[in-house]
Amino acid sequence: MSKLKKEKKLEMSNELLTAYILNNLRIMKAKNPGDTYYEEYLKHTEREGDKFFDQYCLAVGQVLYKQPKSILEIGVRTGTCISNMLSAYKDLSVIERVVLCDIWNDGFASPEIVKLNMRALNVFQDIIGKVEFITGDSKIEIPKLTGFFDYILVDGDHDKAAALVDLENVVRLCAPGGIIVFDDISPYGCALKDVWDKFKEGKSGYTFGEDMAGKGTAWAIKNG
């Protein structure tokens, strides 16, 4: 395949992936009209065009190619990310564990809203009993966890010091070959690129990557 054809194929894949995610967000918006993330997502996609990329895109890609069996999210809010991610599984029975940690203190988000969004995408009934909701400060709750996770999203407290603590706390929980994902590194997000750069220091056992499109997404894949 020529370089031009490969580039065109990649552009088409990005466009299809974005369309898929937007459709999921529209479905969840209908069930949960108070959440404005669909509108925010539209702004980012319109600004970035076919270069758009974010944590949703990365999560769906991980499902399509790696089928993570264990998932940890810090900063869940209404569950649009985890719901979108779960919707990409061909067979949800491969999932062994989903841990969702948030303080849910904004007066709007809650575990019940998360379940509502999962039901809207027809995924919750297949993972009942495998989902654990943790209500509390991630800096306190995450160190209590045991086991390993194939996919870890850190998208909680966006205070720079707190975000770095969350990143450091999940290192021991990342399975060999697993991935740690960090959101909002670009100026269109929360400008946390310096936090990510600090986190990367001294971690030779990982392969790192960043994409500054949209709110900015970073990832670290643990060498297996």
207 DSSP β-pair partners: 221
Owner of token pair 């209404």 = 78
User: Could you tell me the pTM of the whole model?
Assistant: 0.93
Asked if 91 and 62 touch (Cβ cutoff 8 Å), the reply is no
74 DSSP β-pair partners: 101, 154
> What's the pLDDT at 15?
84
Residues in the chain, total: 224
pLDDT score of 7 more than 60: no
Instruction: Give pLDDT tens digits for 110-137.
Output: 999 999 999 999 999 999 999 999 999 9
- Alpha carbons 212 and 54: distance in angstroms, whole number: 9
Asked if 174 and 152 touch (Cβ cutoff 8 Å), the reply is yes
Query: Among residues 140, 139, 143, which one has the least CA distance to residue 165?
Result: 139
Q: What is the CATH number of domain 52-222?
A: 3.40.50.150
> What's the pLDDT at 6?
44
Query: How many CA atoms within 13 Å lie on the side-chain side of 195?
Result: 29
pLDDT score of 1 more than 50: no
- Maximum separation of any 2 CA atoms in the chain, in Å: 53
| Token digits of residue 70 | 């264990």
Instruction: Give pLDDT tens digits for 51-100.
Output: 888 999 999 999 998 999 999 999 999 999 999 999 999 999 999 999 99
- Alpha carbons 47 and 160: distance in angstroms, whole number: 26
- Alpha carbons 26 and 140: distance in angstroms, whole number: 34
Q: Where are the alpha helices (DSSP H) in 69-192?
A: 80-86, 111-120, 138-141, 160-170
Give the whole-number percent of the chain exceeding pLDDT 70.
Answer: 95
Q: Mean of the pLDDT values across residues 2-23?
A: 66
